[in-house]
Amino acid sequence: MTNGSCDLFESGHRACGGCAAALAAKLILEAAGEDTIVVSATGCMEVFSTPYPETAWKVPWIHSLFENNSAVASGVVASLKKQGRSSKVIAIGGDGATFDIGMLCISGAFERGHDFTYICYDNEAYMNTGIQRSGATPYDASTTTSPAGKCSFGNPRPKKDMPMILAAHGAPYIATASIAYPADLKKKVQKAINIPGPCYIQVHAPCCTGWGFEGEKTIAIGKLAIDTGLWVNYEMENGMVTRAKKVKRKPVEEYLKEQKRFRHLFKPRTNDEEIAKIQQIADRNAEKYGIDIVLKK
């Protein structure tokens, strides 16, 4: 009997059943292989995989603090270079660690051009601490610090465009991916780790616990995000979008109504105005990245 599909991220970790972050970790390591050093920020993935003395990681792994995985990775890369060692360095963080508290460090590391890959597993809130809003939380999503209420529709701001920010730093390769398309994610990881310089991959990681859906639907929800245009899988090389996944677009309601975090847009009655605003976000994405499949008549 052969072992599990990934020998490098072991079973027995404490992620929720159906966790996209756990799936992402497994897929990333499958793609990267054993000659990889992982630098991890504080967050769900770090906490569920390394409660002393249990560790799920079979590659060298280090956690420092919440905001500084890029800075720690910079040091690791510098040390490996000086020692003539060629292992790949991957810094992994959630959206909180990447978009918000880690902005300083990721900006510095990308500006300095260190040869490493940063992978953000984007579950669109601070999940580890109990589902609080982050800079990656989409418009109108209800979180514990941006709850929907009598005078609130949830998060009032659109998602920060992190890939664009890092493209502006001169990153040679940037990609968005999703656990809903595992083979595509793995290909992008392999590409990124083999391109010299700082590369960034943002992986959509739908969170059943935080978004309010059943664990078995993790991949289905991920696909719906892409099918509605609210998440776009694309690649950027040297600042230019070179490839984007095309879809036959579905209306955003089909995605929103599956998740408790958007329930307030449908109950007690459907909020057409807010849903229209979210549809606009999807439409803008579609236009910007050219994702609509146009059938030739």
Partner 1 sequence: MALNLGCTAKPGKTRENKTGSWRVFKPEFIHENCTKCGMCKIVCPEGCILENEEDLPVPDYDYCKGCGLCAEECPAEAIEMKKEEK
Partner 2 sequence: MMDIMEGSHAVSRAVTFCRPEVIAAYPITPQTHIVEALAEIVANCELDADYITVESEFSALSACLGASAAGSRVYSATTSQGLALMFEVCFNVAGMRFPVIMSIVNRALGAPLSIWNDHQDSISLRDSGWMQFYSEDNQEATDLHYLAYKVAEDHRILLPSFVCFDGFILSHTYEPVDMLTQEQVDSYLPPFKPYHRLDVKDPISFGMFASPDYYQEFRYANDQALHKAKEVIADYGREFGEMFGRDYSGLVESYRLDDADTAIIALGSICGTVKDAIDEMRDAGKKVGLLKIRAFRPFPGKEIAKALQGVSRVAVLDKNISLGSKGAACLEVKDALYGSQIPVLGYVLGLGGRDIRKKDIAAIVNNAEKGIGDMFYGLREEELK
Which of 240-243's residues contact partners 24+ apart within 8 Å by CB, and which partners? Answer: 241/289
| DSSP assignments along 208-231, one per residue | HHHHT--GGGHHHHHHHHHHTTSS
Q: Does 168 bind partner 2 (CB under 8 A)?
A: no
C-alpha distances out from residue 90 to 62, 113, 182, 230, 280, Å: 11, 14, 18, 27, 35
Stretch that binds partner 1, among 77-85, 94-102, 216-224, 240-248 (CB under 8 A): 216-224
**Window 191-210: residues binding partner 2 (CB under 8 A):** none
Q: Does 33 bind partner 1 (CB under 8 A)?
A: no
In the bound complex, what is the minimum distance in angstroms from residue 37's beta carbon to partner 1?
14
- Rounded CA separation 169/199 (Å): 11
In the bound complex, what is the minimum distance in angstroms from residue 74's beta carbon to partner 2?
5
Between 5 and 194, CB nearer to partner 1? 5
Q: Does 260 bind partner 2 (CB under 8 A)?
A: no
Between 19 and 291, CB nearer to partner 2? 19
Question: ∠ CA 250-177-222 to the nearest 5 degrees?
Answer: 40
- Rounded CA separation 223/183 (Å): 14
Paired with 134 in beta bridges are none
- Count of residues binding partner 2 (CB under 8 A)? 45
Count other C-beta atoms under 10 Å from residue 12's C-beta: 8
Q: Does 223 bind partner 2 (CB under 8 A)?
A: no
Query: Side chain identity at 258, as an amino acid letter?
Result: E
Q: Cβ(115)–Cβ(70) under 8 Å?
A: no
Choose from partner 2, partner 1, none: what does 112 bind? Cβ within 5-8 Å by kind.
partner 2
Choose from partner 1, partner 2, none: what does 65 bind? Cβ within 5-8 Å by kind.
partner 2
Mark 75-114 with x for binding to partner 2 (rule: CB under 8 A) and - for no binding: xxxxxxxxx---x----------------xx-xxx-xx--
User: Using CB under 8 A as the criterion, which residues of the chain lie in contact with partner 2 when the complex forms?
Assistant: 34-37, 39, 46-47, 50-53, 55, 57-65, 67-68, 70-83, 87, 104-105, 107-109, 111-112
